[in-house]
Amino acid sequence: MSEWLEIGVIADIPRLGARALTINGVKIAIFRTADDEIFGLEDRCPHKDGPLSQGIVHGRSVACPLHNQVFHLDSGMGADPDDGCARTIQVRLTGGRIYIASGAGQQAAE
Ligand code: FES
């Protein structure tokens, strides 16, 4: 069973923006869509480690800032399956507060 770690409030992240943080030594990107959905991905593009937190969010996707490959925020999958898959981080939004699974960093590092 996951324990949940509060990492902030939704207002900390601009719409169509992201916030980067490090949990258990792993860089994590938390994204907010225009519809106030929250998603988490490891902040490392599967192509060449670009910082996805600095990418452009559109719909439920993010475009990597380095070479513009697009990844789905919910699954981490590349829009083009050949682009690979970014590791997802479990997040939860409750009453405007954002939580991530406490083992998220460890999962991402495995
Ligand atoms: S590092 Fe992300 S598209 Fe190249």
What gap in Å lies between CA 12 and CA 3, rounded to an integer?
22
Q: What is the CA(57)–ligand 1 centre distance, in A? A: 15
Q: What is the CA(16)–ligand 1 centre distance, in A? A: 19
What gap in Å lies between CA 31 and CA 15, rounded to an integer?
8
| Local confidence band at 105 (pLDDT 50, 70, 90 cut-offs) | low
Residue with the smallest CA separation from ligand 1 atom 3 is 67
What gap in Å lies between CA 3 and CA 11, rounded to an integer?
23
How confident is the model over 21-75, as pLDDT tens digits?
A: 999 899 999 999 999 999 999 999 999 999 999 999 999 999 999 999 999 999 9
Q: What is the CA(91)–ligand 1 centre distance, in A? A: 23
The CATH number of whichever domain residue 32 belongs to comes to: 2.102.10.10
Domain that holds residue 77: 4-109
| Residue 74 CB contacts under 8 Å (≥ 6 apart), including other chains | 39, 60, 88
Read off the pTM: 0.92
* Total domains in the fold of the chain: 1
Of 30, 8, 27, 28, which Cα lies nearest the Cα of 19?
30
